A = this chain, B = another copy of it.
């Protein structure tokens, strides 16, 4: 009776989300990592189909009209969204679907999939440590770093909306926590499956 489940990860860019997912991947079993679609231009080093699906504004707006998005939002004039079809397919195949989306996206996905969602907010221990990480990876210019820090200050206020918070003091400890959370996330039952179970249980003589 076990079908798929959803794990939403949020947290500031630079919190270490990708590193933690990668470090966990051998331990958490088969999962589908949902790739967002965006109308913003690729930054240096970003690859289509890996970091995002990069599409035109026209394309995105047609997909909105066609009802192709599980969630979408406009940020700084650019669209960001999650396509419904691959998520639905992965869930039907019983996979754990992992989303790396922002606070706003988490709210929208939770509203639609409340019964099968688990969510975790990953954050560096301090604002100072986030600043250091962003400077160290040197993929962003100062303007983008400043924007990321401002975003982080806003997003951190939503921590209480998440099931779990992972403070990334060390990658080892954070990965351990993430593995535990991902394994538990996979055990979430959909309300519909539960209702089938109840019905079957009660139909017995």
Contacts and interface: CB of A to CB of B under 8 A. Distances in A.
A188 B160 contact: no
Contacts of A66: none
Interface stretch (A75-83, A102-110, A162-170): A162-170
A127 B187 contact: no
A177 interface: yes
Contact of A163 (B177, B183, B188): B188
Given A123-B201, A156-B201, A183-B184, 14 more contacts: A115-B160, A126-B200, A127-B202, A128-B204, A156-B202, A159-B197, A159-B198, A160-B195, A163-B188, A164-B184, A164-B188, A164-B189, A167-B197, A180-B187
Interface size class of A (residues with CB under 8 A): 20 to 34
A181 interface: yes
A184 B123 CA distance: 18
Contacts of A165: 189, 194, 197
Given A180-B180, A204-B126, A156 B198 contact: yes
Contact of A183 (B115, B180, B191, B195): B180
A157 interface: yes
A115 B160 CA distance: 9
A133 to B, nearest CB: 14
A181 B177 contact: no
Contact of A198 (B126, B157, B180, B195): B157
A31 to B, nearest CB: 15
A126 B201 contact: yes
27 contacts: A1-B167, A115-B160, A123-B201, A126-B200, A126-B204, A127-B204, A153-B201, A153-B202, A156-B198, A156-B201, A156-B202, A157-B202, A159-B194, A160-B194, A160-B195, A163-B188, A164-B188, A164-B189, A165-B189, A165-B194, A165-B197, A177-B187, A180-B187, A181-B184, A183-B183, A183-B184, A184-B184
